[in-house]
Chains A and B, each alone.
Chain A
Amino acid sequence: MLSVRNLHVTLGNRQILKGVDFDLKDGESLVILGCSGTGKSVLLKSILGLIPKQYGKIVVDGIDIDQVHKDERSKILSSIGMLFQGGALFDSLPVWENVAFGLIYGRGMKLQDAKEIAIDKLTLVDLDKQIALLYPPALSGGMLKRVGLARALASMPRIIFFDEPTTGLDPITSNIVNDLIVKYVKHSDLGAITITHDLTCLRKIADTVAFLFDGKIIWTGSIQGMDCTENPYVRQFIDAIPIGPLTTKKHLK
């Protein structure tokens, strides 16, 4: 349903992505691994058009999004939901309006209907009704992530991106978030791309694993494949060895 071909992104005068290729099939859950600063967040944002790409092809459901009109493109991209690394909730709006934002302002739904859907989604992510009236600064990190998840789910996306859904949460909360992701991704035909450094999370939610290094996807495979791979980069990452090809001087610079 989503394919990315030869994606190049340059920010400032640094080339961050140097030709990323991957495919996401219907209902597949792809997890992208990689060291901090390799451009994982940049990859997701450039697919969504939030960061301009240098060149490369992005195809959603067989449509090359650069070949269609701007309005058509934003319609296609609106079928992709995203949970941002920092949550990115709107501080000036109460939680329920955050969740219902896409419905109210993007689709022009009535306030009351949208509020009902929002409260519905909040219960789906195990959040209380009372929380709906609070403002984001009053929430804890785990709650923010769950509200972000509810917001991403509320507009019924077909593909959903999770940028580090469990980073900074305690093991129990991150397990709850993982279970929620499994519930919505594995047991539905939603396609998902997740970025994570959390190997428990990875084992729970991944169908396919892709490893991003030096601006390219250097390895793709299943979890079983990952456990017995000989690829030195992947080995170093999952075994968390401080010295190895990922951390040679050249890349520390």
Chain B
Amino acid sequence: MLTYIGRHTLAFCDSCGRYIIFLYNVFINGLRPPYYWKQMMCQLMDVGFCSLPVIGLTSIFTGAVLALQSYTGFSRFSAESALPMLVVLCITRELGPVIAGLMFAGRVGATMAAEIGTMKVMEQIDALSTLSTCCYRFLYWPRILAGLLTLPLLVFICDIIGVFGGFLVSVYQLDFNAVQYIKMTVQFLQAEDIISGLIKAAFFGLSTALTGCFQGACSLGGAAGVGHATRNTVVMSSITIFFLNYLLTTIIFSK
């Protein structure tokens, strides 16, 4: 038992150490030229634009369900009129970033880990450095930058789609007045609500991309290793998202 705990503690410290070294190398190398613009554009396209359908669909349903559920709750003490406000606040402050972040972890983080892990076990990352190309600049930096930049954008679009989902349900299913609904939504929304969501999203995107690249780069031994890396990425980045969400909410609230 004691050896078990000891071994796992050591392994944990070991991977923390390697993660920190990885972080250091990514930023030290990534910030220096040469910059691979083509790779960055490809990643922005792949990570950002191509995630839009998945994330958009999740958020429209989230908005719709949120409206339905809260209507049931509110109608118990005849506070239905607060529904638009609740929907927009929930989506922008909380559900938008978290749900988009989780979908992002599943789609983008897993892709990154599998792709980089396969390159690693096929010796392609070794080949990169014999061809005088730094893997941090060429492989990891474009992906990490794409994660950092695109998730806030995605979340912004998601916020709009999610609120729209709530709007559709409220107007066509719950017989709200459309103009009234929009008025209520805009009236209660503050810039701070949206910005706090976007800040969260930037952290989620960064941590997901970093985890994906790190896990991929550490994968060992064939298909099983890549499978491990992919699974670890999804699990770890989802947990990180919930943890960061709590942490950032605390910080933003305490201001």
Cβ of B123 and Cβ of A84 under 8 Å apart? yes
Tell me whether A88 and B127 are in contact in the complex, defined as CB-CB below 8 angstroms, given that A105-B36, A105-B138, A108-B34 are known contacts.
yes
Asked if residues A88 and B132 are in contact (CB atoms below 8 Å), the reply is no
A-B contact pairs, 19 of them (CB 8 A): A48-B126, A48-B129, A50-B130, A74-B132, A78-B132, A82-B127, A84-B123, A84-B126, A84-B127, A85-B123, A86-B123, A88-B122, A89-B127, A90-B124, A101-B133, A105-B34, A105-B138, A106-B133, A108-B34
Is B131 in the interface zone, CB < 8 Å from A?
yes
**B residues in contact with A91, CB < 8 Å:** 124
Chain B 171-203, CB-CB to A under 8 Å as 1, else 0, gives 000000000000000000000000000000000
Cα A227 to Cα B124 in complex, Å, equals: 37
Cβ B126 vs Cβ A50 within 8 A: yes
> Closest 3 CB pairs between A and B?
A106-B132, A102-B131, A88-B127
Most buried by A among B34, B119, B127, B132: B127
Q: Shortest beta-carbon distance, B116 to chain A, in Å?
A: 12
CB nearest to B137 among chain A residues? A105
Dominant secondary structure of chain A at its interface with chain B? loop
Taken residue by residue from 100 to 133, chain A's Cβ proximity to chain B (1 for < 8 Å, 0 otherwise) reads as 0110011110000000000000000000000000
Knowing that A50-B129, A85-B123, A106-B131 touch, tell me 17 more A-B residue pairs with CB under 8 angstroms.
A48-B126, A49-B129, A74-B132, A77-B130, A78-B130, A80-B130, A86-B122, A86-B123, A88-B122, A88-B124, A88-B127, A89-B124, A90-B124, A102-B132, A105-B36, A106-B133, A151-B131
Complex Cα spacing A88 to B138, Å: 16
The distance from the CB of A8 to the nearest CB of chain B, in whole angstroms, is 20
> Which residues of B pack against A, CB within 8 Å?
34, 36, 119, 122-124, 126-127, 129-133, 138
- Is A105 a contact partner of B122 (Cβ separation < 8 A)? no
Expressed in whole angstroms, the Cα–Cα distance for A74 and B132 within the complex equals 7
Residue numbers in A under 8 Å from B138 (CB-CB):
105
Output the least CB separation between A152 and chain B (Å): 8
Cα distance, A155 to B34, chains bound together (Å): 18
CA distance A196 to B119 in the complex (A): 24
Contact call B123/A81, Cβ cutoff below 8 A: no
A91 to B11, CA, bound (A): 33
Q: Chain A nearest CB: distance from B138 CB in Å?
A: 6
Among B36, B123, B126, B129, residue most surrounded by chain A Cβ atoms (within 10 Å): B123
> Please, how many angstroms separate the alpha-carbon atoms of A102 and B130 in the complex?
8
Cα of A74 to Cα of B123 in the assembled complex, Å:
18
For A151, the chain B residues whose CB sits under 8 A away are 131
Q: Which residue of B lies closest to A152 (CB)?
A: B130
Residue A18 at the chain B interface, CB threshold 8 Å: no
User: How far is it, in angstroms, between the C-alpha of A106 and the C-alpha of B138 when the chains are bound?
Assistant: 10
Judge whether A45 is part of the interface by a CB distance below 8 angstroms. Answer: yes
Q: How far is the CA of A81 from the CA of B130 in the complex (A)?
A: 6
Docked CA distance A145–B3 (Å): 47
CB distance from B113 to the nearest CB of A (A): 16
Q: Chain A residues near B127 (CB, 8 Å)?
A: 82, 84, 88-90
Q: Is the CB of B34 within 8 A of A88?
A: no
Q: How far is the CB of A103 from chain B (nearest CB, A)?
A: 9
Contact B131 A105 (CB under 8 A): yes
